[in-house]
Structure 1
Amino acid sequence: MFLLPDLSVGETYREVEVRRFIAPHGEQREGIRSDDYTAAIGNFPHRSRKRRHKNTEMYAEGKEREIVIEYGLLPIERFRSWFRLVETKLTDSTDEHRATQRARIHAIKERLQAKEFAYPIWIEKHLVNEDPMAVWEGTHRVVAFRELGFPEIPAFLLKYADKSE
């Protein structure tokens, strides 16, 4: 059994409420925050799974509202075409790059098997039905989850707060 966030599927949270479930990035430098959240909200919202296309209409409508996080468990089957895309990229990369990526995946698998916390991946809610899936943060985790037999992947879905909130 793996340790998942004790959050309710479909429930919306503010960043401060889920901070302990947000994966840090590398070494933390004083005064500079580096984690999945800060990386995932960069240029939010996007028009498509290609990072360079900002959804300016959605931004204009929501820019005054808070960015919030919906917790979900997504079936591993939803990532089928995403896995093909990642495998193609790895096949086309150098041996050194492949080895580095595999080492990162292996380290995640070891932590998960040691009963460490399974940090959720990050997807923008309005892109959740993209094919292949638009994973902003947590690509190595998705592969590790699949290799360990996770039937569902824990995910944080970024969205704007409802106008009523």
Structure 2
Amino acid sequence: MGDGHTAAAADVRWLNVEEQGVWRAFLTANTLLMAHIDEDAKRFDLNASEYAILVLLSEAEGQELRMAHLADALCHSRSRVTHTVQRMEHKGLVVRIASGDDRRGVIARLTDAGQARLTEAAPDHVALVRRHLFDLVSPEDLAVFGRVLNAISDDLAEGHPESDLR
């Protein structure tokens, strides 16, 4: 098991039929939703990670964030975010600048072109998420769904080596 725990097969609390169904439904729904989001983003010369970076930068003070903060917020490795931001820089969507506080730190800043791309892509993205997630869930189930997802995130982020995730 990936979390540092080992268990003999006899000691495992195997999933029952209902739990297996829920687990597989979660995996399928997540995979399909993310594939649809990624495919939709391609129409705007983006992928899902690039879109998420544009959103995070647009919401940040000064429309800029340290690269390490972007990696934590996306739950991606720093090297993966560096490669993604490099691609985005070549597209003119962001610029990277040295941190004034810490010479080793690098900041990603949203450009006017990046803001324009986000403004163009956001309505379709939100419509897709609403159609394939929020419109399918009652307000009561949505509240429960949110609590469940937050409990999972909190549990997984606790003690995570790069954790400033929550």
Q: Same fold (TM over 0.5)?
A: no
Greater RCO structure (CA 8 Å; 6+ sep): 1
Larger Rg: 2
Structure that is richer in strand per residue: 1
What interval of TM-score do these two structures reach, taking the shorter chain for normalisation?
under 0.3
